[in-house]
Structure 1
Amino acid sequence: MARKMIEQITCDACTAKGETAEGVTELTIGSDSYDLCQEHADRFAAHFAELFTTNTAEAVAA
């Protein structure tokens, strides 16, 4: 009998909230990696963009 193994990757952020969503991207910070759905990937990207934009604007103003 032939078998096909399918691995399902779930979003770590959704799982922490008790929800299930397909992980579509991986975020790695140092030695930690997180699988994220598109919504959480977009949120993290926006958060990091805001952090870096704010720091850059403050550095230019100083």
Structure 2
Amino acid sequence: RRGEYVSPLFTLENVVISPHYAGHTYDTWLRRIEMGYQNIVRIANGEEPLYVVNKDVLHSKEKRCE
């Protein structure tokens, strides 16, 4: 989760919550490749990757890229 707000939908037993991909266009495809490349470069340079959701694993030796 990115913020503090939690939707009441998460409490309902008859609702399935799943990630949603907003769109698939040539531009979004290029952007995903660019974001992946930027993160590879950042990790190679010892920097944290962008847009990390689970920041708890960033400093875990088991999850670290070597």
Q: TM-score range by the shorter chain?
A: 0.3 to 0.5
From the CA coordinates, give the structure whose radius of gyration is larger: 1
Return the structure number with greater strand share: 1
TM-score by length of 2: 0.36
Q: Which has the higher contact order (CA 8 A, sep 6+)?
A: 1
- Considering fraction of residues, name the structure with more helix: 1
